[in-house]
Amino acid sequence: MGILDNKVALVTGAGSGIGLAIAQSYAKEGAKVIVSDINEEHGNQAVKKIRAEGGEASFVKADTSNAEQVEALVKSTVEIYGRLDIACNNAGIGGEQELTGNYSLDSWRKVLSVNLDGVFYGCKYELEQMEKNGGGVIVNIASVHGTVAAPLSSAYTSAKHAVVGLSKNIGAEYGQKNIRCNAVGPAYIETPLLESASGDMKDILIAKHPMGRLGKSEEVAELVLFLSSDKSSFMTGGYYLVDGGYTAI
């Protein structure tokens, strides 16, 4: 028996990294999982991994910056598995590295469209469906930069701060409707994106964490799993860090 038996879960950006680890953890605990990603190849590979581990999963391609595609994603989830109990809005991008005064308008809009608009679209349509179910759980992936600055990444920092605020608002608005919403703030995690970083850059990032290492996707997934389950039944509107001490100094 898993802690998510008979639940249906949706994870965006689940083709790799943190999103994949979350989808795998959901499936291992008994949930039927919709894996969504803009990269069809990665999404299908993720589904194969989950099924090979004995889980149940299906892939639905979606660009989270497109409201119509997100609405269709939630609709497809219900068509495939009959309902929606849990949603993790994880898809995000980093954006360009530049001083705020020099930040390009196109880059600003792109980062906000994925990292904020995409999370809002997800929440909007997930909430509509969860109200029909009579309840549900949403976990939004923010960042340590939902509470501290990321110099040269003003769009990313702004979006992640906003995701924290959005999650708090939903928690306050939907508590009496049996719908919980929390945000998670990972620090720097060993993902395919960071694997391509130079050795010097990786050392700089590691030095920012008092634990002396980067985090693992599975460590983020464990927190998300807890917040998605009944073990956290009295927790909503919160923002929880998994950051190796990054924000402590």
What are the catalytic residues? 156
- Dmax over CA atoms of the chain, in Å, equals 54
Q: 3-state DSSP call for residue 34?
A: strand
d(CA 196, CA 26): 28
Q: Which of 171, 195, 193, 174 is nearest to 183 (CA)?
A: 171
d(CA 31, CA 23): 9
Running DSSP on this structure, what letter comes out for residue 237? S
d(CA 97, CA 20): 26
d(CA 162, CA 192): 25
What would the two tokens of residue 73 be?
A: 């994603």
